[in-house]
């Protein structure tokens, strides 16, 4: 099956051996992260080039995570010429190998829809947690290289996340907190993940939310935990210990990210916004004007963006002065942010990563608050 496939197989077998199973398992799809040149640099680019030039081609449906900028508006992201060229080369090589240019962390809105019980090989923690916990698929938390290797072979390393025993809940978490908006859902996931970051939790006391709410729960959880999933309900219960998460615990994390100065950047769309979210953002922004001293950045996938353009939703956001972008996000773009910047976001995941990757001040607020702070009063 060629040199690229041989190398990919070797990589996957090394992982399977490390887990003690020594076996590969057939998969239905792959989702590949490590797309942004900011994250993978020259060595990542060379790894992808080697596989492409050795004749690599995908054997299952494979989609791409976001890259360093919106391919139609690179100037919004402080991209220099070298970054631009190398990023475009990464995307070109992946496309050459048959990976779809979805450039989103919500592949499930872009045609990569696993069914319950499907074995898949997905990278991108928020999408992994969502596909395991909400869609009922089976995937480990692949890295960019192993997800690409899986795409090229149609196989993933057999690991505990692909077995029913390996996915049993390991700790019961009694939740005494009612999330009211997306920021709360993300924060709840983040706090649960922080408490027992290696264990699969069974959440008790959490009303199953909408798909979008669960998307934020998954992203927050994935940012602080290394477990592949959570359970929301499970008949037979859980044999592990019990911990409790209450309002005060959630509040203390939220306080760490409170807004004390006017934001210079308001970021919404981590994970990428659904069309439903964009419609409601447009509704809020109708006949309003984004403040001159604020950058309102809203990110989505290109498939959702296209539908937003058709429906006129993109136009409403654009007319207000908001920047609706696709293919990227604040975290994977090389956008320059300084100590004097204040980032306000409604995503616990963005707050978590932004605090380690930038010198800007980070604040977490509900969606309404984010939009209110972004517009002129």
- Among 276, 261, 284, 268, smallest CA distance to 323 is for 268
> Judged by CB under 6 A, which of 94, 214, 219, 250 binds ligand F3S?
219
Q: Quick check: 64 binds ligand F3S (CB under 6 A)?
A: no
Q: Quick check: 332 binds ligand F3S (CB under 6 A)?
A: yes
Q: Quick check: 349 binds ligand F3S (CB under 6 A)?
A: yes
Q: Which of residues 265-284 bind ligand F3S (CB under 6 A)?
A: 270-272
Residue 73 or 319 having the CB closest to ligand F3S: 73
CB 302 within 8 A of CB 104: yes
CA 310/CA 200 separation, integer angstroms: 41
Shortest reach from residue 170's CB to ligand F3S, in Å: 25
Q: Record the tokens describing residue 245, joined without a space.
A: 């998460």
Q: Quick check: 147 binds ligand F3S (CB under 6 A)?
A: no
CA 70/CA 67 separation, integer angstroms: 8
CA 91/CA 208 separation, integer angstroms: 37
Residue 8 or 183 having the CB closest to ligand F3S: 183
Shortest reach from residue 330's CB to ligand F3S, in Å: 7
Q: Quick check: 329 binds ligand F3S (CB under 6 A)?
A: yes
> Judged by CB under 6 A, which of 112, 126, 146, 358 binds ligand F3S?
126
Q: Quick check: 31 binds ligand F3S (CB under 6 A)?
A: no
Shortest reach from residue 146's CB to ligand F3S, in Å: 18
Residue 233 or 336 having the CB closest to ligand F3S: 336
Helices and strands (H, E) in the chain, number of each type: 13, 13
- Among 105, 15, 122, smallest CA distance to 62 is for 122
CA distances from 127 to 14, 20, 83, 230 (A): 24, 26, 26, 13
Residue 291 or 295 having the CB closest to ligand F3S: 295
Tokens 């509040």 correspond to: 251
Write out the H or E segment, with its range, that includes residue 126. Answer: helix 125-133
CA 61/CA 98 separation, integer angstroms: 8
> Judged by CB under 6 A, which of 4, 5, 105, 285 binds ligand F3S?
105
CA distances from 172 to 69, 92, 130, 141, 326 (A): 40, 45, 19, 22, 38
Shortest reach from residue 126's CB to ligand F3S, in Å: 4
Q: Quick check: 110 binds ligand F3S (CB under 6 A)?
A: no
Shortest reach from residue 98's CB to ligand F3S, in Å: 22
Q: Quick check: 66 binds ligand F3S (CB under 6 A)?
A: yes
271 upstream amide cis, omega within 30 of 0: yes
Residue 268 or 285 having the CB closest to ligand F3S: 268
Residue 149 or 297 having the CB closest to ligand F3S: 297
Q: Which residues bind ligand F3S (CB under 6 A)?
A: 65-66, 105, 126, 219, 270-272, 299, 329, 331-332, 349-350
């Amino acid at each position: 099956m060629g040199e690229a496939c041989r190398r990919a197989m070797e990589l996957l077998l090394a992982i399977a051996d490390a887990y003690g199973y020594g076996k590969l398992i057939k998969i239905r799809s792959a989702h590949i992260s490590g797309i942004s040149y900011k994250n993978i640099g020259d060595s990542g680019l060379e790894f992808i080039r080697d596989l492409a030039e050795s004749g690599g081609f995908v054997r299952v449906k494979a989609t791409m995570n976001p890259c360093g900028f919106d391919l139609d508006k690179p100037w919004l992201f402080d991209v220099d010429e070298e970054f631009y060229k190398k990023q475009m080369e990464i995307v070109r090589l992946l496309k050459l190998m048959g990976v779809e240019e979805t450039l989103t962390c919500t592949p499930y809105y872009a045609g990569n829809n696993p069914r319950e019980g499907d074995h898949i090989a997905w990278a991108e923690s928020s999408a992994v947690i969502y596909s395991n916990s909400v869609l009922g698929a089976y995937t480990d938390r692949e890295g960019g290289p192993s997800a690409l290797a899986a795409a090229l072979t149609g196989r993933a390393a057999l690991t505990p996340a692909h077995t029913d025993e390996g996915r049993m809940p390991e700790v019961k978490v009694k939740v005494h907190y009612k999330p009211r908006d997306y920021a709360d859902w993300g924060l709840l996931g983040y706090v649960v993940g922080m408490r027992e970051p290696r264990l699969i939790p069974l959440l008790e006391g959490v009303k199953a939310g909408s798909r979008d709410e669960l998307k934020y729960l998954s992203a927050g959880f994935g940012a602080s935990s290394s477990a592949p999933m959570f359970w929301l309900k499970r008949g037979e219960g859980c044999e592990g210990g019990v911990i409790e998460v209450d309002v005060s615990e959630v509040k203390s994390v939220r306080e760490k990210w409170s807004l004390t100065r006017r934001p210079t950047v308001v970021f919404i769309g981590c994970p990428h916004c659904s069309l439903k979210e964009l419609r409601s953002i447009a509704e809020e922004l109708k006949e309003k004007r984004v403040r001159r001293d604020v950058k309102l950045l809203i990110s989505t996938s290109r498939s959702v963006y296209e539908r937003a353009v058709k429906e006129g939703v993109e136009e409403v956001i654009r007319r207000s002065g908001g920047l609706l972008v696709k293919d990227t996000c604040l975290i994977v773009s090389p956008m320059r942010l300084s100590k004097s910047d204040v980032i306000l976001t409604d995503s616990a995941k963005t707050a978590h990563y932004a605090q380690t990757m930038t010198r800007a001040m980070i604040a977490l607020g509900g969606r309404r608050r984010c939009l209110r702070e972004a517009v002129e009063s």
